[in-house]
Amino acid sequence: AKPDPKLGPSTPENINLRQKNIDLESIGIQAEGIFGCNEDTYNPLDLDGQGGRTFLRVLLHLIMHEYPALVSGALHLLFRHFSQRQEVLHAFRQVQLLVSDSDVESYKQIKSDLDVLRQSVEKSELWVYKSKQSDEPAEGGGEGGGGGDGSSKPDKGDGSGGGGSGKDHVKPELVKQESQLNFDQGPELNPEQAQEYKKIQQILIRMNKLCITAGPGDVIKPRKHEQRLLRNVGVHTVVLDLLQIPYDEKDDYRMNELMRLAHEFLQNFCLGNQQNQILLHKQLDLFLNPGVTLSEGALVEFQ
């Protein structure tokens, strides 16, 4: 079968459109009729088959009544009738067309991840690691007089005897030197807490991959279509909320890794995308802090 000239060359997306019987030429003509700015060719949307005259007569008749709610509703419709083109344009700016099956799958994955991430951020106090010193302030009074309290933590000092029990917090710092992505090591957590850290880590990794692609010579290029999709569903706002969660920066190396991934996402989210940069410029105070990652994030916003 010869390719349809209306649909252009036989790319996978065009073949998919032909299979779904989508007439792009007809859609284009209708779009031109709605959005055309030429006064000679511009026609308002016809709601009643008479160029809107019947609709206007009904509204004007309703305005003459003495019932305030009816008059208010009629005036509201009258204003909307004469601003329908602007409303359609505004609505289309809030919409992103998913023109391929891969777009649909990406959207479903983003929405699913966003719901999980938002819920985790809202309930951060339930899973973020808290050091024993902050949970048990009474133990700071005497290191050797542990008495009954000391019996509740004998297995934290694996092979180091009673005298080393006061140095438990050295372990997370040593683990920091290992792979940052190994979330099975570090401060002791219950299974639910550990699962939350891993879940958020995987979500942020997927979000980062959506924003960019590696070209020839390992040149990083932005994926503007996906960046726009992430912006439209508001992923950046939830990530910004994640960055503001209080945590133990010294011992909670898992959270440090999540923060690094979150900053990396915002950098990739802004890469080569002026609209996204404008959005994050309003939150610039989050990046004007000591640290290489934060400084890199601020630099990306001004590229």
pLDDT of residue 92: 80
Nearest CA-CA partner of 106 in 16, 222, 223, 263: 223
β-sheet bridge partners, residue 221: 213
Same structural domain, 122 and 70: no
Distance, in Å, from the CA atom of 34 to the CA atom of 150, rounded to the nearest integer, reads 76
pLDDT of residue 15: 54
Q: What is the mean pLDDT of residues 223-250?
A: 92
Q: Which residue has the higher pLDDT, 183 or 91?
A: 91
Distance, in Å, from the CA atom of 134 to the CA atom of 111, rounded to the nearest integer, reads 36
Same structural domain, 220 and 77: no
Q: What is the CATH number of the domain that holds 285?
A: 1.25.10.30
Average pLDDT, the chain: 75
| Residue 90's pLDDT band (cuts 50, 70, 90) | confident
Predicted confidence (pLDDT) per residue in 260-290, tens digit: 999 999 999 999 999 899 988 888 777 665 5
Same structural domain, 74 and 203: no
Same structural domain, 106 and 235: yes
Compute the C-alpha angle 171/250/243, nearest 5°: 130
pLDDT of residue 37: 54
Count the Cβ atoms, other than its own, within 10 Å of residue 117: 20
Q: How many domains does the chain have?
A: 2
Same structural domain, 188 and 272: yes
Same structural domain, 32 and 122: no
- Reply yes or no on whether the pLDDT at 240 is more than 90: yes
pLDDT of residue 100: 85
Range of weakest confidence among 11-15, 180-184, 275-279: 11-15
Range of weakest confidence among 176-185, 201-210, 230-239: 176-185
Most confident by average pLDDT, 3-12, 173-182, 193-202 = 193-202
Same structural domain, 294 and 225: yes
Residues 6+ apart with CB under 8 A from 132: 139, 153, 168
Same structural domain, 112 and 88: no
Let me know if residue 75 belongs to a domain: yes
Same structural domain, 60 and 121: no
- Reply yes or no on whether the pLDDT at 25 is more than 50: yes
Q: What is the pTM of this model?
A: 0.59
- State the residue range of the domain holding 43: 5-93
pLDDT of residue 161: 42
Crossing angle of helices 68-81 and 84-93, in 10° steps, is 70
Rounded percentage of the chain residues whose pLDDT exceeds 70:
63
Let me know if residue 149 belongs to a domain: no
Residues 6+ apart with CB under 8 A from 88: 34, 35
Please give the C-alpha separations between residue 262 and each of 130, 207, 300, in angstroms, as whole numbers. Answer: 20, 9, 14
pLDDT of residue 185: 66
Q: What are phi and psi of 298, to 5 degrees?
A: -65, -40
Same structural domain, 118 and 84: no
CA 244 to chain centre: 15
pLDDT of residue 145: 43
- Reply yes or no on whether the pLDDT at 18 is more than 60: no
Q: What is the mean pLDDT of residues 143-151?
A: 44
Q: What is the mean pLDDT of residues 189-197?
A: 90
Predicted confidence (pLDDT) per residue in 32-57, tens digit: 766 665 555 555 556 567 767 888 88
> With the CA atoms of 207, 208, 211 and 213 taken in that order, what torsion angle do they form, in degrees rounded to the nearest 10?
-130
Same structural domain, 179 and 76: no
Let me know if residue 22 belongs to a domain: yes
pLDDT of residue 20: 63
